[in-house]
Structure 1
Amino acid sequence: MSEKSKYFVIKEKAVPEVLAKVVEAKRLLDSKKGMTVQEATEQVGISRSSFYKYKDDIFPFHENARGKTITFIIQMDDEPGLLSEVLQAIAENHGNILTIHQSIPINGIASLTLSVDILPNRGDAEAMVDDIEACQGVHYLKILGRE
Structure 2
Amino acid sequence: MTSRKPFYLVREDMLTEAMEKTLAAKELLRSGKVKKINEAVHHVGLSRSAFYKYKDGIFPFHTMVKEKIITLSIILVDRSGSLSQLLGKVAETGANVLTINQTIPLQGRAHMTLTIDMSPMKLDLNELMEVLEKLEAVEKVELVGTGS
TM-score using structure 2 length = 0.54
In 2: Cα distance, 1:89 partner to 1:70 partner: 16
Which amino acid is 1:127 matched to? E
Root mean square deviation, CA, Å? 3.2
Q: Distance in 2 between matches of 1:117 and 1:12?
A: 21
Q: Does 1:96 align with 2:89?
A: no
**Structure 2 match to 1:11:** 4
- Asked if structure 2 preserves the Cα contact closer than 8 Å seen for 1:94 and 1:124, the reply is no
Residue aligning to 2:106: 106
| Conservation of the 8 A alpha-carbon contact between 1:65 and 1:125 | no
Asked if 1 retains the 8 angstrom alpha-carbon contact of 2:73 and 2:112, the reply is: yes
Query: What are structure 1's unaligned runs of at least 5 residues?
Result: 1-9, 24-49, 55-63
**Distance of 1:111 and 1:90 partners within structure 2:** 17
**Alpha-carbon shift at residue 72 of structure 1 (Å):** 0.5
Cα distance, 1:123 vs. partner? Answer: 4.9
Alpha-carbon spacing, 1:137–1:66, altered in 2? closer, same or farther (3 Å): farther
Deviations 1:56-78 (A, max 9, x none): xxxxxxxx567610000101110
Query: 1:12 is paired with a residue of what secondary structure?
Result: coil
- Gap runs ≥5 in structure 2: 15-63
Question: TM-score under structure 1 normalisation?
Answer: 0.54
Matches of 1:109 and 1:65, distance apart in 2:
34
Report if the CA contact (8 A) 1:70-1:143 is conserved.
yes
Same amino acid, percent of matched pairs: 29
Alignment of 1:50-69 (within 5 A): 64=64, 68-69=68-69
Alpha-carbon distance between aligned partners in 2 of 1:112 and 1:77, rounded to the nearest angstrom: 11
User: Contact 1:66 / 1:125 at 8 angstroms: preserved in 2?
Assistant: no
SS of the residue 1:104 aligns to: coil
Structure 1 or 2, whichever has the larger Rg, is 1
2: CA distance, partners of 1:136 / 1:129:
14
Distance 1:78 1:144 in 2: 21
